[in-house]
Amino acid sequence: MSSAAIIFSNLNTNTLSRLTADRTVAAIPFACRYRLIDFALSNMVNANISNINVVVNYNYRSLLDHIGSGKDWDLARRAGGINCISPYQMASSGSAKVYSTHMEALRNMTAYIDDMKEDYVVLSDCHCIANIDLKAAIADHAANGATITFVTTECAEGYTSKNPVLMFGTDGEGVVRDAVISAKHQDNAPELSTGIQIMSCDYLRRLLIEAEAHNYRSLTYDVIMKNASNGCYRTFKHNGYFAHISSFTDYFKNSLDLTTNRGAFYSLLGIPERRIFTRVHNSAPVSYLSGSSVANSLIADDCVIEGRVENSILFRGVKIGRGTVVKNSILFGGTTVGRDCELNCVVTDKSVTISDFCRLSGHESLPFYIGKKRRV
Amino acid sequence: MYLKKECIAMLLAGGQGSRLYDLTKHTAKPAVSFGGKYRIIDFPLSNCINSGIDTVGVLTQYQPLALNEYIGNGAPWDLDRNRGGLSVLPPYQGNQHSDWYKGTANAIYQNLQFIKKYDPEYVLILSGDHIYTMDYSAMLKAHKKKGAACTVATIKVPLEEASRFGICNADSDGRIYEFEEKPKVPKNDQASMGIYIFNTDVLIRYLEEDENDPDSSNDFGKNILPNLLKNGEPLYTYSFSGYWKDVGTIKSLWEANMDLLGSTPAFNLHQRKYRIFSRNTARAPQLIGTGAKIENSLISEGCVINGSVYGSVLSGGVYVEEGAEIYNSVIMADVHVAAGAKIYYSIIDSDCFIGENVTVGAPDSKDDIKIIAKGTKLTNDSEEN
């Protein structure tokens, strides 16, 4: 039983405007040292999947930079490994539109799918953060013979999302009875799609031939919604940590949740047999100087801390000056905060410099964002 | 196949490091962990790649398992190359002789085939016992400029400690007229760092002569360098100024770790000029809890800190429970320090468990660094307290 995988790096970009101004969704930094794609990739690698195709469409340079040869995920292979699929534009096609849906992207890469030697294929988006036992999900799919198995999670009562997502109602045995597309909790469909679905390679190939014949544009609308009540789909429920990043506020809330919610932290990052891999840098351990005081925070390598940090996430190489207080903030890699500053509910993008004595504050519901390389 | 290189490095990593006691019981000294996320061997290997030397033979002998596993194919240092790169050179069985490495010179002698394969003009000899960053290419430049047969890197040491080192007595131009290995009465304070650049032909000639001398102890400092001098070969010093620390003893290993701390550390790991490469593991970011107090410390990935850490260096995956206190210590990977435990002036090797209310070391034991061997479980009932 072997599986290949396809990761869609950028198909949910519109609602994350600031963070995706110059990166794909997959390349959004998260939890100190990761990028969103690391969760999808690690889930796959931990399920022994070693043929992974990453579909990219726009501004994917930082993603390519992050993935490199794939070595950090053990995916630099002669056979298989990781492979980025960029839009295939013919010189003659002029300004033809680049694919914007899963179905369009899949139809654009039929040659790769035809070549897959594996039994199953896992399709995954990048906007969901979870440490999922995909091995069990694939085994469940293989054992039950569903057409598609969707990896889902319990949808909380008050759940809302900036953009509508797939939700399922099942018969209690995992067979899908209902599917809805909604931006908030639905009583008849209490399972939320994690953006991961499993099917056989043969089925995907047949599906793409059918899609070509009927000119399907959307996997969700033209296929899934039409067949949802046929009893041919199943769900596999993931019970651990799950975060769906549909907006900047989602991002902020879910990030900071990791600093106080120990259960969330361990269920995402503390499972010894399912580690989350990421690109490694050769950076020094964190230096805590005298006068530093840190509580409820996640700190990445190469930071130098002289001030106070509370409920915050510091990415690599962040410097916090003497007398500075940072609360409820997320500082991306290379941010330098001078001395005697006060930061509250601030998100700085990469390599931001904040001079001495600055006071910056946003609000939990509206964090203050500072763009890449800006100086304050 | 054409493999010619101008300069290749031979790194002597077979030493037992017996003065590190329990720390090197199952590990070669170069694989001993240092500075949170590094191993001692990261420093010479990173220096090589930062100096443009891409062919390195690593000579291993003593307890090589951890070292071999750590080095792997050299990928962390960008030394996984099709031409050159890193090669591990253990002692081997030949068709006439089969021998362990008898001394530093003999170790290189046994690998002359490796050197000859690359037909280099120069061979750089390094050891895996020191913490420093150095540009070997500047030393090579000086070597060429002086027209030396051999250049010995030297560093100024306190005169009272000079008798622990090989001392180079040289004229004002840096030409060595006398080399004394651990002299009782040192004539000056220029100590050999154990880093040599040889012209390859000279190296081969002297190693072969040395091998035929049954009275030789096959050592660079004791035999090879004195023989070169005796024959009037041009030997020069290359004086290095910068941080350099031998970490061959418990005390010096502890001191070198402490040298990383503070806002102006004696040895700064946060510099960009000479990046130190190491094998990185995918650990979670460090989680600093509510009750944590951390000052003047270096903490690595995967640590969870809920207690107090002062003036210490923590490797990856260390868990410090609330109420635990660590002072002036080096804690290696995956150690668990339970509530109420106190650690003073200690080096705790990896995978130890320091139980509740256990005290290791004492607040005034600076001159007696306590070592806890790998995997030790200390509880208040255990005898080791």
Label each residue of B323-357 as H, E or C: CCEEECCEECCCCEECCCCEEECEEECCCCEECCC
Q: Which residues pair with A33 in a beta bridge?
A: none
Interface test with A, best of B42, B78, B294, B320 (most A CBs within 10 A): B294
The architecture that CATH gives domain A3-269 is Alpha-Beta Complex (3.90)
B301/A265 CB distance under 8 A: no
Chain A residues close to B131, C-beta within 8 Å: none
pTM of the model: 0.90
Tell the residue number behind the tokens 């916090």, with chain if given: A320
What value does the mean pLDDT take over residues B235-254?
Answer: 94
B170 touches B177 (CB < 8 A): yes
Structure tokens at B372: 């806890």
Does B309 lie at the interface with A, CB-CB under 8 angstroms?
Answer: yes
pLDDT higher than 60, residue B373? yes
Inter-chain residue contact B75 with A71, CB threshold 8 Å: yes
| pLDDT of B357 higher than 80 | yes
Please tell me the predicted confidence (pLDDT) of residue B280: 85
Task: Please give the pLDDT value at position B385.
Answer: 45
Nearest by CB to A288, from B285, B290, B295: name it.
B295
Q: What distance in Å separates residue A210's CA from the closest CA in chain B?
A: 42
ipTM of the modeled complex: 0.88
pLDDT higher than 70, residue B176: yes
The average pLDDT across B75-93 equals: 90
Residue A195 near residue A128, CB atoms below 8 Å: yes
> Please, are residues A316 and A298 in contact by the beta-carbon 8 Å criterion?
no
Tell me what the mean pLDDT of segment B270-294 comes to: 91
Residue B257 has pLDDT above 50, yes or no: yes
Please check whether residue B320 is in contact with residue B353, taking contact to mean a CB–CB distance below 8 angstroms. no
pLDDT value, residue B383: 53
Is B282 in contact with A31 (Cβ distance < 8 A)?
no
With an 8 Å Cβ cutoff, are B263 and A290 in contact? Answer: yes
Query: Among A66, A261, A268, A282, which would you mutate to test the B interface (most chain B Cβ atoms within 10 Å of its Cβ)?
Result: A282
Q: What is the pLDDT of residues B40-70, one digit of tens each?
A: 999 999 999 999 999 999 999 888 888 999 9
Q: Using 50, 70 and 90 to split pLDDT, how confident is the model at B1?
A: low
Nearest CA in chain B to A307: B295
Under-50 pLDDT residues of chain A: none
Q: How many Å lie between the alpha carbon of A240 and the closest alpha carbon of chain B? A: 17
Interface test mutation site (partner B, options A276, A278, A301, A332, max chain B beta carbons within 10 A): A301
Q: Mutate which of B43, B270, B334 to test chain A, going by most A C-beta atoms within 10 A?
A: B270
Residue B21's pLDDT is what?
86
CA distance B5 to B276: 24
Q: A3-269 and A287-370 share one CATH topology? A: no
> Does the CB of B317 have a partner CB in chain A at under 8 Å?
no
Q: Nearest CA to CA, how far is B222 from chain A (Å)?
A: 38
CB-side neighbour CA atoms (13 Å) of B152: 32
Q: Among A33, A292, A300, whose Cβ lies nearest the Cβ of B294? A: A292
Task: Show residues of chain B in contact with A288, CB under 8 Å.
Answer: 294-299, 309
- The per-residue pLDDT for range B91-101, each reduced to its tens digit, is 888 877 778 88
Q: State whether A294 and B288 contact (CB < 8 Å).
A: yes
Residue A90 confidence (pLDDT): 62
pLDDT at residue B17, rounded to an integer:
80
* Domains of chain A, residue spans: 3-269, 287-370
Mean pLDDT over the full length of chain B: 93
Residue among A259, A246, A277, A9 at smallest CA distance from A131: A277
Residue B21 has which token pair? Answer: 């006691």
Cβ separation A270–B284 shorter than 8 A: yes
Q: Cα separation of B246 and B163, whole Å?
A: 14
User: What's residue A92's pLDDT?
Assistant: 64
B286 part of contact set with chain A, CB < 8 Å: yes
As a whole number, mean pLDDT of residues B86-107 equals 87
Quick check: B301 and A275 CB within 8 A?
A: no
The alpha carbons of chain B give a radius of gyration, in whole angstroms, of 22
A102-138 b/e with 16+ CB inside 10 Å = b? bbbbbbbbeebbeebebebbbbbbbbbbbbbbbbebb
- Say how far apart CA A235 and CA A198 lie, in whole Å: 10
Superfamily name and number for A287-370: Hexapeptide repeat proteins (2.160.10.10)
